[in-house]
């Protein structure tokens, strides 16, 4: 069951697609927000984020109260474009999606991958694809060059993430081929995972490729990238099912911010590869 | 104030210094090494430590780390998280305590469904992870239309959880208080809630406090669980900073120091409160403030209770006791308060009428029949002693007269009225307010083991029922309480706690306490059985003088000589029935029943050994 999840997700990503947004959207029309989104205008749309995910959502080093990062800045730009107000609500990552499903928050915008499983509970507007990277200690002492090399090594991944599931699936594969299973550790926040590798409590940590590259770049004596997996995962905003107006607003805004090059610019500003951008689309299951 | 805080920071910093050094020596380097400057820090730069630096750089790195830590401690970002943690913890603690007290009382209920509900709640809440409880409250309740915000969810979630834990702590505290304390309070007409508030909880506090301090400290720290429902408290905020600048050591050390400061406050509060509720430390009036007592440490001049021998009673004449009993002001007040038209009569004036009437009284505990059809009456002003081997039902009969226990069959009237029963048709139904009924009956009771309220001074013991049950003004109650204590020869022990008094002194205080409610009937349940032989005389002396005032009394005792001298009538009981009764000269001098003869032979042989 678990082993199928990784693959199915990739396949379904392409398969289950419905485009909602009107094809002929022109440009940003913040002044028409009242006419376009009468139920949303003037309200603060609550966006759930976990500001411990560099470079997507992090605390501003000069003012911890402020949330910055690619996702946060991009969200601000999109909302400005459609003339709506947003408010970031920060919490632990594992609590974000449940809060959207429960209606406590309006959307989750915090480096969330699209999976078919999740799409049963929320609607998505996707805007980029993700790569997954393996963070290892300097010199890659365990010589990890692909997922197949991870049999028997101590592996770390974020709690409730697709990477965690990926290690579980890989571990089963290892056992099936007569290799040792993967002793796995799940961490609640990225910094905690980084410490696992840094203190030699884990041999490899699987997380977002951009983050892995940034860590390796900033700490050249401590870390390097072991390998990368182009998973084809799409990254998007998740919205509670049935919030058609918000879905439409985000679809429109994202399209505009891609069209005028804002997304590309922000990707570059935060050290992310601009080619990760994909044409935004609304995905619902 | 500010300088105090700085001092605290320096002290805690000093404690953490060695840890910090270890952290810097971490061979894996990386983010374990503090930034070189504040600019580095605020710019979020990651400093990969240059390992193997000389001692000077190591020292400066440590100092730098300390400086950073102190800056983090004072940062508004973390302080806001601290405030949030405190707000949630304190509100949840208050809610948890209130709900926990209710649950504890439910657990102690004699009514199975009530007990069961509380047990189930505690079982469920203690048995499920708090994190899941929080997520459930926050994310599942909206499905049924209850949408709580983050703060409310956290407060309610932690309060509901704390209730389950504090219920068990409070229940443990209540159980640690001797059951006889509640019996004594009940006997004086105190209702269940008054008993709980005035008698049980103050004594339970000492057992409750350490556990509650634990819970409070745990809760302040555990508020970090609530990050999953978007509570941005201290731990969450420090994690957020770390995920941005990876300086886990200084940031977490700062958060740890803040937690330590908070929990230090709790620990100090615990110590102060424990002092307050510690009876062994208490020297006299509990009205003295904690500070006053704190200041008097080391020059406390209160001597331990003088040995009984040095404290012979300035023997009160019957007249003195009469005065003590008959203090007109308090009688008038309490009589009016209770709606009594007449003031109790303590004289022998109408000694012909039956005052206490027991008719076919039966009582069984489980399958054991303790009383099997007792018919007995006591006239106004009469002194009746009940004798008999243990297990014969003497004490049970006394308890039934005061309605400390329910009758199985038969009925008892005191002064013509049922105590705590209403006659409906031919059957008796328990009255709605039994405590009130006991108070109205004005029956004073003295117990074998004194049952003084351990946390109250002698005087406070005496005035408790008059002022709390009968609404006597404090000053009047104190004045009469002192008169009563003088009459039993204990005026100079008025401000001592019971554990400072000898057994004989305690029993005399207990008699004064019983007299303070202006009783119409006094019940003595083996008042001298728990006393050393040489202390018996003083207590019997007081009872004897009380008999001389014309008080109606029923005395359960083994003191043959006392019965012979004081009693108007002796009742001999065995195995739940009255075997023999009559004037002492007959029953004690020439018993007709073999059972009585046998018992008296045994008792007198024992007495002979004294």
Q: Which two tokens stand for residue A105?
A: 């928050």
pLDDT of residue A149: 93
A64 touches chain B (CB under 8 A): yes
Do residues A125 and A237 make contact, with C-beta atoms less than 8 angstroms apart?
Answer: yes
Distances (CA, A) of B479 to B281, B302, B335, B444, B466: 27, 23, 17, 19, 12
Residue B212 has pLDDT above 90, yes or no: yes
CA B192 to chain A, closest CA, distance in angstroms equals 44
Q: Decide: A56 and A71 in contact? Cβ < 8 Å.
A: yes
Number of Cβ pairs closer than 8 Å across A and B? 111
d(CA B421, CA B236): 61
Quick one: pLDDT at residue B300? 40
ipTM: 0.75
Cβ contacts (< 8 Å) between B135 and chain A: which residues?
95, 98
Buried b (16+ CB within 10 A) or exposed e, A178-202: eeeebebbbbbbbbbbbbbbbeeeb
Q: State the alpha helices, DSSP H only, in B278-410.
A: 290-295, 318-325, 328-338, 394-401
On whether any CB of chain B is under 8 Å from the CB of A65, the answer is yes
How close B27 comes to chain A (CA, Å)? Answer: 9
In whole angstroms, give the CA distance from residue A31 to residue A28.
Answer: 9
pTM above 0.95, yes or no: no
Convert the pLDDT of each residue in A168-206 to its tens digit: 999 999 999 999 999 999 988 888 899 899 989 999 999
Residue found under tokens 């740890």: B256
In the predicted structure, residue B424 carries a pLDDT above the cut 90: no
C-alpha–C-alpha distance, residues B8 and B10, integer Å: 5
**Contact between A199 and B28 using a beta-carbon 8 Å cutoff:** yes
Residues of B in contact with A203 (CB under 8 A): none
Q: Is pLDDT larger for residue B43 or for residue B137?
A: B137
Contact A199 B243 (CB under 8 A): no
Residue A10 has pLDDT above 60, yes or no: no
For the segment B192-210, what is each residue's pLDDT rounded down to a tens digit?
999 999 999 999 998 999 9
- Could you give the CA distance from residue B311 to residue B313 in angstroms, rounded to a whole number? 6
Where does the pLDDT of residue A160 fall: very low under 50, low under 70, confident under 90, or very high at 90 and above? confident
Domain A4-129+234-283, what fold?
D-Maltodextrin-Binding Protein; domain 2 (3.40.190)
A91 and B43 within 8 Å at the Cβ level: the answer is no
Q: Do B241 and A48 touch (CB under 8 A)?
A: no
Which value, in Å, is the radius of gyration of the alpha carbons in chain B? 33
Picking from A63, A104, A107 by the largest number of B CB atoms within 10 A of its own CB, the best residue to mutate is A104
The pLDDT tens digits for B487-544 are 999 999 999 999 999 999 999 999 999 999 999 999 999 999 888 888 888 899 999 9
- Tell me which residue in B42, B48, B227 faces A91 most closely, judged by beta carbons: B227
Which residues from A are below 8 Å from B243, CB to CB?
51-54, 58-59, 189-191
Best residue of A47, A57, A61 to probe chain B, by most B CBs closer than 10 Å: A61
Do A99 and B138 lie within an 8 Å CB cutoff?
yes
Distances (CA, A) of B85 to B80, B82, B219: 9, 5, 9
Count of CB atoms situated within 10 Å of the CB of B432? 9
Mean pLDDT over A33-61 rounds to: 91
Is there a contact between B228 and A195 if contact means CB atoms under 8 Å apart?
Answer: no
Q: Is B120 helix (H, G, I), strand (E, B) or coil?
A: helix
What are the extents of the domains in chain A? 4-129+234-283, 131-231
Residue of B132, B139, B145, B151 to mutate for A, most A C-beta atoms under 10 A: B139
* Contact call for B240 and A90, based on CB within 8 A: yes
A98 touches B: beta carbon within 8 Å: yes
Q: Which residue has the tokens 């009924």?
A: B437
Q: How far is B130 from B439, CA to CA, in rounded Å?
A: 47
Look-up of token digits 């202006």: B518
Is the pLDDT confidence value at B81 over 60? yes
Right CATH for A131-231 from 1.10.10.10, 3.40.50.10710, 3.30.70.1290, 3.40.190.10: 3.40.190.10
Tokens of B13: 């910093």
For residues B58 and B28, what is the distance between their CA atoms, to the nearest angstrom?
16
B72 touches chain A (CB under 8 A): no
Q: Tell me the chain B residues in contact with residue A59 when contact means C-beta distances shorter than 8 Å.
A: 240-241, 243-244
Please tell me the distance in Å from B141's CA to the nearest CA on chain A: 8
Q: Under a CB-based contact definition with an 8 Å cutoff, are residues A166 and A147 in contact?
A: yes
Of all residues in chain B, the one with the smallest CA distance to A103 is B142
Looking at per-residue pLDDT, the higher value among B248 and B555 belongs to B555
Cis peptide bond prior to A95, omega within 30° of 0 = no
Cβ within 8 Å, pair A191-B243: yes
Interface test with A, best of B83, B230, B252 (most A CBs within 10 A): B230
Q: Rounded CA gap, A222 and A220, in Å?
A: 6
N- to C-terminal Cα separation, chain A: 20
B140 touches chain A (CB under 8 A): yes
Q: Rounded to the nearest 5 degrees, what angle is found at the Cα of B236, between the Cα atoms of B231 and B242?
A: 150
Residues of B in contact with A121 (CB under 8 A): none
- E strands, chain A, are 44-49, 52-53, 57-60, 63-68, 85-90, 107-113, 122-129, 132-137, 155-158, 184-187, 204-208, 223-229, 234-240, 277-283
Helix, strand or coil for residue A53? strand
Contact list, A219 vs chain B (CB under 8 Å): 30-31, 46, 48
Q: In what helix (H) or strand (E) does residue B383 lie, and over which residues does it extend?
A: strand B383-387
Query: For residue B258, what pLDDT is reported?
Result: 95
Residue B146, pLDDT above cutoff 60: yes
Q: Does B46 touch chain A (CB under 8 A)?
A: yes
User: Are residues B478 and B459 in contact, defined by beta-carbon separation less than 8 angstroms?
Assistant: yes
Chain B residue closest in CA terms to A223: B30
Contact B389, B573 (CB under 8 A): no
A83 alpha carbon, distance to own chain's centre: 25
What pairing do the DSSP bridges indicate for beta strands A85-90 and A57-60? unpaired
Candidates B405, B387, B364; CA nearest to B524 is B387
> Which of A198, A211, A241 to mutate against chain B (most B CBs within 10 Å)?
A198
For residues B378-400, average pLDDT: 92
pLDDT of residue B296: 45
Q: With an 8 Å Cβ cutoff, is B74 touching chain A?
A: no
B35 or B598: which leads in pLDDT: B598
Q: How far apart are CA B427 and CA B239, in angstroms?
A: 71
Q: How many CB atoms lie within 10 A of CB A219?
A: 21
A152 part of contact set with chain B, CB < 8 Å: no
Residues of A in contact with B26 (CB under 8 A): 199
Closest CA to B235 of A191, A63, A160, A47: A191
Query: Is-contact B428 B421, C-beta < 8 A?
Result: yes
Residue of B26, B50, B151, B246 to mutate when probing chain A, most A C-beta within 10 A: B246
The overall longest dimension of chain A from CA atoms, in Å, is 63
B575 lies within 8 A of chain A by CB: no
DSSP 8-state assignment for residue B499: G
Give the residue among A69, A19, A64, A62 at the shortest CA–CA distance from A47. Answer: A69
pLDDT of B337 > 90? The answer is: no
Which backbone phi and psi does A90 adopt, to 5 degrees? -100, 140
Domains A4-129+234-283 and A131-231 share a fold: yes
B26, B230, B242 ranked by CB distance to A95: nearest: B230
Work out the mean pLDDT of chain A and round it to a whole number.
87
Q: Is B291 left (phi over 0), alpha (psi -120 to 50) or beta?
A: alpha
B247 shares contact with chain A (CB less than 8 Å): no
Taking CA atoms, what residue in A is nearest to B29? A222
Using alpha carbons only, give the angle B324, B327, B331 rounded to the nearest 5 degrees: 125
DSSP for B216-272, written as a single string? HHHHHHHGGGGGGGT---HHHHHHHHHHHH--HHHHHHHHHHHHHHHHHHHHHHHHH
The pLDDT score that the predictor gives to residue B508 is 94
The answer to whether the CB of B460 falls within 8 A of the CB of B478 is no
Chain A residues whose CB is inside 8 A of the B236 CB are: 90-92
B249 lies within 8 A of chain A by CB:
no
| DSSP state at residue B587 | I
Residue that has been written with the tokens 């407060």 in this structure: B155
Question: A214 at the B interface (CB within 8 A)?
Answer: no
């Amino acid at each position: 069951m678990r082993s199928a999840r990784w693959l199915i997700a990739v396949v379904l990503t392409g398969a289950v697609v419905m485009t909602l947004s009107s094809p002929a959207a022109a440009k940003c029309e913040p002044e028409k927000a009242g006419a376009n989104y009468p139920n949303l205008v003037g309200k603060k749309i609550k966006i759930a984020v976990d500001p411990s995910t560099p470079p997507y959502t992090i605390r501003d080093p000069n003012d911890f109260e402020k949330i910055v990062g690619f996702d946060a800045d991009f969200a601000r730009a999109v909302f400005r474009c459609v003339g709506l107000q947003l408010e970031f609500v920060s919490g632990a990552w594992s609590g974000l999606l449940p809060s959207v499903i429960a209606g406590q928050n309006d959307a989750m915008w915090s480096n969330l991958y699209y999976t078919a499983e999740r799409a049963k509970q929320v609607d998505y507007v996707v805007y980029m694809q993700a790569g997954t990277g393996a963070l290892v200690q300097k010199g890659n002492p365990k010589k990890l060059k692909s997922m197949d090399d991870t049999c028997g090594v101590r592996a770390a991944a974020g709690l409730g993430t697709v990477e965690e599931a990926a290690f579980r699936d890989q571990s089963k594969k290892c056992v099936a081929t007569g290799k040792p299973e993967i002793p796995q550790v799940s961490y609640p926040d990225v910094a905690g995972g980084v410490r696992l590798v840094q203190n030699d409590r884990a041999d490899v940590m699987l997380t977002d490729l951009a983050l892995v590259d940034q860590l390796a770049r900033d700490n050249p004596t401590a870390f390097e990238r072991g390998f990368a997996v182009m998973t084809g995962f799409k990254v998007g905003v998740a919205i509670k099912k049935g919030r058609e107006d918000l879905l439409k607003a985000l679809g429109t805004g994202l399209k505009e911010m891609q069209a005028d090059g804002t997304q590309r610019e922000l990707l570059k500003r935060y050290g992310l590869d601009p080619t990760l951008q994909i044409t935004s689309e609304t995905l619902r299951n | 104030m500010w300088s105090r805080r700085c001092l605290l920071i320096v002290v805690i910093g000093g404690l953490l210094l060695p840890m910090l050094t270890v952290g810097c020596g971490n061979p894996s380097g990386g983010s374990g090494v503090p930034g070189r400057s504040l600019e580095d820090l605020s710019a979020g730069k990651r400093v990969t430590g240059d390992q193997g630096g000389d001692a000077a750089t190591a020292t400066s790195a440590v100092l730098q780390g300390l400086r950073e830590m102190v800056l983090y401690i004072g940062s508004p970002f973390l302080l806001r998280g601290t405030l949030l943690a405190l707000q949630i913890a304190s509100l949840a603690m208050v809610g948890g305590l209130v709900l926990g007290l209710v649950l504890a009382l439910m657990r102690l209920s004699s009514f199975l469904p009530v007990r069961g509900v509380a047990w189930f709640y505690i079982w469920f809440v203690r048995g499920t992870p708090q994190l899941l409880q929080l997520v459930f409250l926050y994310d599942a309740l909206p499905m049924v239309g209850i949408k709580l915000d983050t703060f409310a969810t956290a407060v309610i979630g932690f309060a509901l959880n704390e209730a389950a834990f504090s219920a068990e702590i409070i229940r443990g505290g209540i159980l640690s208080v001797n059951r006889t304390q509640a019996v004594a309070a009940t006997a004086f007409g105190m209702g269940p809630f008054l008993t709980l508030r005035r008698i049980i909880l103050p004594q339970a506090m000492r057992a409750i406090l350490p556990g509650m301090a634990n819970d409070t400290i745990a809760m302040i720290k555990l508020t970090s669980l609530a990050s999953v429902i978007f509570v941005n408290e201290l731990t969450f905020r420090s994690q957020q900073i770390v995920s941005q600048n990876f300086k886990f050591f200084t940031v977490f050390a700062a958060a740890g120091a803040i937690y330590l400061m908070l929990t230090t406050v709790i620990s100090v509060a615990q110590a102060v409160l424990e002092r307050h509720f510690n009876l062994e430390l208490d020297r006299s009036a509990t009205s003295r403030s904690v500070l006053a007592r704190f200041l008097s440490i080391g020059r406390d001049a209160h001597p331990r209770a003088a040995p009984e021998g040095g404290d012979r009673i300035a023997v009160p004449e019957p007249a003195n006791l009469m005065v003590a009993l008959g203090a007109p002001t308090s009688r008038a007040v309490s009589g009016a308060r209770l709606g009594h038209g007449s003031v109790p009569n303590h004289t022998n004036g109408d000694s012909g009428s039956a005052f206490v009437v027991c008719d076919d009284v039966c009582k069984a505990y489980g399958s054991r029949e303790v009383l099997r059809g007792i018919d007995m009456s006591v006239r106004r002003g009469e002194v009746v002693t009940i004798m008999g081997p243990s297990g014969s039902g003497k004490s049970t009969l006394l308890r039934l007269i005061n309605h400390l226990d329910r009758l199985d069959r038969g009925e008892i009237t005191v002064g013509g009225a049922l105590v705590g029963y209403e006659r409906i048709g031919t059957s008796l139904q328990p009255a709605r307010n039994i405590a009130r009924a006991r108070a109205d009956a004005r029956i004073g009771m003295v117990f074998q083991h004194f049952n003084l309220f351990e946390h109250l001074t002698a005087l406070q013991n005496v005035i408790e029922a008059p002022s709390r049950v009968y609404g006597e003004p404090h000053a009047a109650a104190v004045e009469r309480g002192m008169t009563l204590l003088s009459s039993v020869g204990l005026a100079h022990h008025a401000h001592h706690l019971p554990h400072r008094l000898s057994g004989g002194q305690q029993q005399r205080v207990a008699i004064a306490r019983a007299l303070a409610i202006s009783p119409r009937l006094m019940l003595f349940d083996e008042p001298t059985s728990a006393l050393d032989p040489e202390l018996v005389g003083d207590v019997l002396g007081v009872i004897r003088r009380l008999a001389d005032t014309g008080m109606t009394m029923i005395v359960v005792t083994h003191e043959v000589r006392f019965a012979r001298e004081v009693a108007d009538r002796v009742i001999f009981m065995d195995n739940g029935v009255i075997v023999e009764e009559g004037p002492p000269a007959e029953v004690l001098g020439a018993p007709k029943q073999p059972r009585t003869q046998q018992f008296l032979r045994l008792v007198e042989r024992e007495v002979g050994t004294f």
